[in-house]
A and B are shown apart, each in its own frame.
Chain A
Amino acid sequence: MTTPFVMLVDDEAPFLETMTKRLEKRKLNVKTALNGQSALEALEKNPSIDVIILDVKMPGMDGIETLRKIKAGYPLAEVIMLTAHATVESAIEGMKLGAFDYLMKPCDMDQLMSKVQDATRKKRDHEEKIRVAKVKEALTKYGM
């Protein structure tokens, strides 16, 4: 499996900075965004992003809204929600909208890493399936 391409979205710059360092140290390809809008823009530029780690509570476009837009534009990208407090409501809401999982802030790095790995694997599996499907389709098309 190639290095997971991860995007961190949080309104707290220091948090992003440190997390980036820590994730990069764990051999992840990390991109950051300070708000939902720039996250969408970054996704546009880098459609190959595998996992988006998204803070629920952000000024402007909040996590849930951002999640909705990401899922609309990039259905294959997996999203891990970071919540300040694990309320059942926000968790359920996030899951309904297609989030991969949620974690509570401050989160345990090992836990986060394993979730990122799982999410990446899931995304890659999906991509693989799609690729295979496309190949099959092409083969059928050309009568092979």
Chain B
Amino acid sequence: MIKTRRLANPYYRVLMRNIVIIIISVSFIPLILVSSTIYYQFRTSYREKVYAHLRDLVQYHTYNIDSFLGEKLGDIRFLADSFGYDRLSNESFLQGKLAALQKDYGPVFVDLGVVNADGEQIAYAGPFKLDKAHYSDAEWFQQAMQRQYFISDVFLGLRGLPHFIVAVKTNRDGHTWILRSTIDFVAFNTLVESIRLGETGFAIILNKEGKLQTTPISKPSLDTIPAKSIYTEFLENPARSGDKIRIAVKSDSSDDKTIFVASFLKNGDWLLVYQQHFADAFADLNKTFTITTIMMLLGPLCIIIMAITLSKIIVNRIAQIDEEKQLMNAKVVETGKLATVGELAAGVAHEINNPVAIMVEEAGWMGDLLEEEEIQNSKNLAEFRRAIGQIQDQGRRCKEITQKLLSFARKTDGKVQDIEINEVLEELVALSAQRAKYALVKIQTHFQQNLPQLKLSLSELQQVFLNLINNALDAMETRGGSLTIESRLEKDLIVVEVTDTGMGIPEANLNRIFDPFFTTKPVGKGTGLGLSICYGIIDKMGGKIEVRSRAGQGTIFTVHLPVPVEETGASA
């Protein structure tokens, strides 16, 4: 409750906010800088690594596919070169060669065919009934006729199945013919299909028109690619000089980023495109990022909690210290006030004392003269006597006031001696008994026995308690009541409580009653110095005097007196 009250003060709120801000910024700035630098560096190098890996992969497969194609072409060329048109035109020979090829390479070579310059198939070996097929209109044939070697794009052909053709044109003895072989699409496709990475990485091959040459995993059949896609971009901008492999990152409609790695193969006829979702390619990086993010969130959370807790503690402590300092200041001011007033009072007392003495003496002289005979007969003699007596009485009152002022101002007085507090109180009670009787006050005492001895000035202590008792009696003068004096030990303090059932002190006066010259008694009755003197004495003794009061119910004065250290040590 105290804490919230303290922190409700805007000054402390601002202070706490500043501390929190400082702690957080001092902790956050390096944290953020270091983490983001490391993350950035890591991401850059990781990305480079991934790209390099993909580049290698694509390059490797480009070579792989190129060499596959080259190999198949080489086989066919070898056949064409070694055996010549005549022998190869023999279908059974051709069958034999196909069988040999299939034996060596598996079912890669689907069939073999010899086609003459007019596009007629002279001989055929293979599973399909393609004898005498006419290819003069087929695109591959027209292309093949223009070159020495030709590998066609994948097409459905006469059979309606995806395949491509490897053709070797031989021009010997004035005789132009073509040895062609159908390459099994499945076997070729496997080559490309095997390029798989992660969960989304796959490769496809496109021809120059953008037609798929392989079956991509996600797209089941041969298809042209969507216009404006990345593929066309690759195709329309053929490899720049020296840049055989190109990498691009594109986001599609659903905002998923995809990495494309492309490389031309088959002398630029085909394009191998490897693609993988960005997130998949950088899965490890993303995992790191997630972990970092969690740490970046948890760390600051801890810092914030710590900053708030710590600054709360610090600010509370500061508030506490400030409070103590304020109390100290108030005390210093109070003490200073008392001291100043004390010096002033002492000066005033000295100055006033002499004139008062003279006045009293003059009055005494007048009193002396009254005894002379001629005045003895005056009818106003009694009045003269009364007036002179009054002057003397009032002079004596002045003397009392100055005496009190002087004793209040006196810095050091009274010899320190061993004191049994209960004995002192007992004596004072006895002293006040007569007055109490007239005031109809019953005095009760509750003394704790065997209290440690005090080392204080007896006369000062008597002055304090006599003052408190007299005040209590004054408070109950008209109505009577009971006065309770209690002594007890609390830790290293002897506590004496003087409780009356008098009229009490109004709350407005409570914090002024120790001020010098503050009095509620009628003029002439009190000097307003009694409690002030008590305060000064108890303060000098290193003790404390407190007051609690409720108007109409009574007042409790509590005096705390320090037990000498060696005393407590001996009794312990």
Chain A residues in the interface with B (C-beta under 8 A): 12, 14-15, 18-19, 21-22, 25-26, 57, 84-85, 87-88, 104-107, 109
Contact = CB atoms under 8 A, between A and B. Distances in A.
A106 B360 contact: yes
A12 B358 contact: yes
Given A85-B402, A106-B356, A22 B368 contact: yes
A18 B402 contact: no
A22 B365 contact: yes
Contact of B349 (A12, A21, A85): A85
A106 B395 contact: yes
B361 interface: yes
B361 A15 contact: yes
Given A15-B357, A106-B357, A106-B395, 14 more contacts: A12-B358, A14-B358, A15-B361, A18-B364, A22-B368, A26-B368, A57-B350, A84-B406, A85-B350, A85-B403, A105-B354, A106-B353, A106-B359, A106-B360
Interface in B305-357: 349-350, 353-354, 356-357
Given A85-B402, A87-B410, A15 B354 contact: yes
Interface residues of B, number: 23
Contacts of A85: 349-350, 353, 402-403, 406-407
Interface string B79-104: 00000000000000000000000000
By DSSP majority rule, is chain B's interface helix, strand, loop, or mixed? helix
Contacts of B427: none
**Which of A21, A26, A84, A104 has the largest number of chain B CB atoms within 10 A?**
A84
Contact of A12 (B354, B395, B403): B354
Contact of B354 (A22, A84, A107, A109): A84
Given A85-B353, A105-B354, A18 B362 contact: yes
Contacts of B365: 18, 21-22, 25
A87 B459 CA distance: 13
A60 to B, nearest CB: 16
A106 B354 CA distance: 8
B396 A25 contact: no
A88 B459 CA distance: 11
A15 B358 contact: yes
Nearest to B357: A106
Contacts of B354: 12, 15, 84, 105
27 contacts: A12-B354, A12-B357, A14-B358, A15-B358, A15-B361, A18-B361, A18-B364, A19-B361, A22-B361, A22-B364, A25-B365, A57-B350, A84-B353, A84-B402, A85-B349, A85-B353, A85-B402, A87-B413, A105-B353, A105-B354, A105-B357, A106-B356, A106-B359, A106-B361, A106-B395, A106-B396, A107-B357
A79 B359 CA distance: 24
B211 interface: no
Nearest to A25: B368
B17 interface: no
B363 to A, nearest CB: 9
B278 to A, nearest CB: 100
